Amino acid sequence: MKAVLKVLCALFLFAAAPALATERWQQLPTPAPMPKADKTGTAPVNGIDMYYAVYGSGPPVLLIHGGLGYADVWGAQVADLSKDHTVIVAESRGHGRSTRNADPYSYDLMSSDYLALLDYLKIGKTAIVGWSDGGIIGLDIAIHHPERLTKLFAHAANSKVDGVIPTVMENKTFATYIEKAGEVYKKISPTPAEYDAFVTQISNMWASQPNWSDDDLKKITTPTAIVLGDHDEAISREHTDYLAKTIPGAELIILKDASHFAMLQDPEGYNKAVRDFIDR
């Protein structure tokens, strides 16, 4: 009986003890608060209303969020970069405060949305910091409209569907991100009850896009950084190395102790990596 009691006490103490701290790359911190925007609104582009905000002054840099995300994920980056840059954030069609229509999703279409937004804001050329889908949009613009870019910082991007790690949806951190994205959508979207329909619509794109050839990537002339956290849950290191080797002159940047959500997990390190590249 004493032995049983000892086991039960040990189990109780284990259950009552605080959980061991997770590694930084397993955490999903809340984004830093966004600074007060100098200008904000919606732009009519390609049949939708696209939310945007502009901060600071200086050489322009456009921050493009990832799939299911929203502009406020960049809070720490906006606060830093707007000290000496004109920082533009926006929300892709159907994401955050932007509307969507029945047009099938494609990276070409979303790239066209962002170019139309730059036209609306009268910005001819800009650096892009793109994360995940935002990085893919950056690659699309670099391939097809290099005249609009000064530099491209493409974080956790892929050029083919097989660049995605097959087990990503089993990852707890990534699953938490999807859950939180749905909660934010319900709070700020013009269509708060349509999250599932939105996810279904964009998932049709993810099933087959992007799908660029080596020759497509070799067309890129924009100075490009291919960036990945060393514990990324979604994009494989093998594919990232391939991008860096195939895009002419591309620089490979590996962010230490960070995952797909490096801008949240290590904002200071992320900001330094961005500045070291775009301000060089």
Q: Kindly report, residue by residue over 1-46, the tens digit of the pLDDT.
A: 333 333 333 333 333 333 445 899 999 999 999 999 999 999 999 9
| Residue 136 identity (one-letter amino acid) | I
Nearest CA to 155 among 127, 126, 181, 129? 129
Structure tokens that stand for 96 in this block: 């955050």
pLDDT the model gives residue 21:
53
SS3 235: strand
pLDDT the model gives residue 1:
31
Q: Kindly report, residue by residue over 52-72, the tens digit of the pLDDT.
A: 999 999 999 999 999 999 999
Q: The pTM is what?
A: 0.92
Nearest CA to 55 among 36, 32, 29? 36
pLDDT the model gives residue 79:
98
What letter does residue 230 receive in the DSSP assignment? T
| Residue 233 identity (one-letter amino acid) | E
With 0-12 CB in 10 A as exposed, 13-18 as middle and 19+ as buried, what is 206? middle
pLDDT the model gives residue 44:
98
Measured CA to CA, the distance from residue 181 to residue 155 in angstroms comes to 19
Domains defined for the chain, CATH in brackets:
2-278 (3.40.50.1820)
Ranges of the chain whose pLDDT falls below 70:
1-21
Structure tokens that stand for 85 in this block: 């840059």
